[in-house]
Amino acid sequence: MRAGAALLLAASAWLACVAAGSEGDLPVSEPERSSLYAPHREGGRFFNPWRRQDWSFVDLLRWQLSPNRFDKSRPPQVRVVANDGARLAGVEGSASVTWVGHATLAVHDEGDVFLTDPHFGERALIPKRLVPPGIPIESVPPHAFAIVSHNHYDHLDAWSVEKLPASMGWYVPLGLGDWFRARGRDDVTELDWWQSAQRGRFTITCLPSQHWSRRIEQGINESLWCAWLVDSGERKYFFAGDTGYFHGFAEFGRRFGPIDVAMLPIGAYEPRWFMGYQHMNPAESYQAFLDLRAEHMIGMHWGTFDLTDEPVDLAPKALAEAVAKAGGDASRTLVLGVGERWHVPE
Ligand code: ZN
Ligand code: ZN
């Protein structure tokens, strides 16, 4: 599996070796804030203006050659809730969120449906799916739309994109539009950080994240990575995609808070010296939830693909510990079962 992870993250060798900082509750300074709005493309490649990364194969090798301190011999425990997805075709009384697995969630807001990083496939390039998708791909209604955070294989799955209804609308960060059009998907809206698009009653806004991009047919950082804010007019949903902890969350909370539901990654975070730049650990995700001024958090990006050193079912336990240690309200920090449908409180 480590070889698989190595391939998936093949270009990550240039990542910085230090764990993400912890700004915590500190206010965002003006230079920090302006860094979120700064130019972020240079010579055809995107970058994070607030924290540049260093290219180094040494880091990747060091990770791959270092012993894993975690025991992964026990099969992971991931709760599964049977769900045929049939409800998605109907009208929800208010709103619900269903976890399909990994970073894929189906948000059902009244009569509308949108998916986050739809992945219903068998593999994330090499790592094999450990739990079947929580709903059948065929249950996604033709009027649904999707938001895509970046092109890594655990977030963008060609088979799923081609199998989902051709009528679906796609919202993608800069540099990914042609990839969709090459697959016959014409309803594609490419956005830069801080740009918004309107779809019916929804305002869909692309926001910065602290990550990177790469897949076989796209070079390192040739397409952008992002988070999304989807505002139905009644409810605000934040989807972080893949990201390290950074001061963007505090700025999003200031500009858009309160947010109803924050879908935040909690898994694929060890070892910290290598993963900290690009993936939050559960304690950082909890801090991001506070920074966002969100009512509820759903922890995702765990339990589905074995990508990093920690056992794939460790993240929910670590999140519960982090929330308890901070004296937080565990009823607001949710971890769903695969296929589980959670009603957004009115
Ligand atoms: Zn990624
Ligand atoms: Zn990921």
Token digits of residue 29:
């300074």
- Tell me the Cα Rg of the chain: 18
Q: Which residues pair with 343 in a beta bridge?
A: 96
Q: Which domain holds residue 256?
A: 2-13+79-343
Ligand (nearest to CA of 209): 1
CA of 268 to the centre of ligand 1 (A): 10
pLDDT for the residue numbered 173: 98
Peptide bond between residue 133 and the one before it cis (omega within 30 degrees of 0): no
Residue 221 inside a domain? The answer is yes
Ligand (nearest to CA of 305): 2
Residue 70 inside a domain? The answer is no
pLDDT for the residue numbered 19: 31
What tens digit of pLDDT does each residue of 220-229 get?
A: 999 999 999 9
H/E segment holding residue 249: helix 248-256
Residue 182 inside a domain? The answer is yes
Q: Which residues pair with 298 in a beta bridge?
A: 263, 334
- What pTM value is reported for the model? 0.93
pLDDT for the residue numbered 9: 43
CA of 8 to the centre of ligand 1 (A): 9
CA of 242 to the centre of ligand 1 (A): 5
Residue 151 inside a domain? The answer is yes
CA of 211 to the centre of ligand 1 (A): 7
CA of 281 to the centre of ligand 1 (A): 14
Residue 61 inside a domain? The answer is no
What tens digit of pLDDT does each residue of 53-104 get?
A: 865 778 989 999 999 999 999 999 999 999 999 999 999 999 999 999 999 9
Q: What is the mean pLDDT of the chain?
A: 92
**Number of domains composing the chain:** 1
pLDDT for the residue numbered 277: 94
CA of 235 to the centre of ligand 1 (A): 27
d(CA 257, CA 293): 5
CA of 154 to the centre of ligand 2 (A): 5
Residue 162, CB half-sphere, CA atoms under 13 Å: how many?
7
DSSP symbols for 279-320: S--HHHHHHHHHHTTEEEEEEES-SSS--SSS-TTHHHHHHH
Q: Which residues pair with 45 in a beta bridge?
A: 42
Ligand (nearest to CA of 302): 2
- How does 100-113 read in b/e, with b if 16+ C-beta sit within 10 Å? bbbbbbbbbbeebb
CA of 5 to the centre of ligand 1 (A): 12
Low-confidence ranges of the chain (pLDDT < 50): 1-24
Burial of 141 (0-12, 13-18, 19+ CB in 10 A): middle
CA of 67 to the centre of ligand 1 (A): 23
Q: What is the CATH number of the domain that holds 256?
A: 3.60.15.10
pLDDT for the residue numbered 57: 76
- CB–CB of 28/204 below 8 Å? no
d(CA 152, CA 217): 11
Residue 28 inside a domain? The answer is no
Residue 71 inside a domain? The answer is no
CA of 130 to the centre of ligand 2 (A): 15
DSSP symbols for 73-141: -SPP---B-----GGGGS--SSEEEEEEETTEEEEEETTEEEEES---SSBSSSSBPSS--SS-GGGS-
CA of 302 to the centre of ligand 2 (A): 9
- How does 196-208 read in b/e, with b if 16+ C-beta sit within 10 Å? eeeeeebebbbbb
Ligand (nearest to CA of 213): 1
CA of 68 to the centre of ligand 1 (A): 21
> Which residues lie near ion ligand 2 (Cβ < 5 Å)?
154, 242
- CB–CB of 315/304 below 8 Å? no
CA of 140 to the centre of ligand 2 (A): 22
Residue 252 inside a domain? The answer is yes
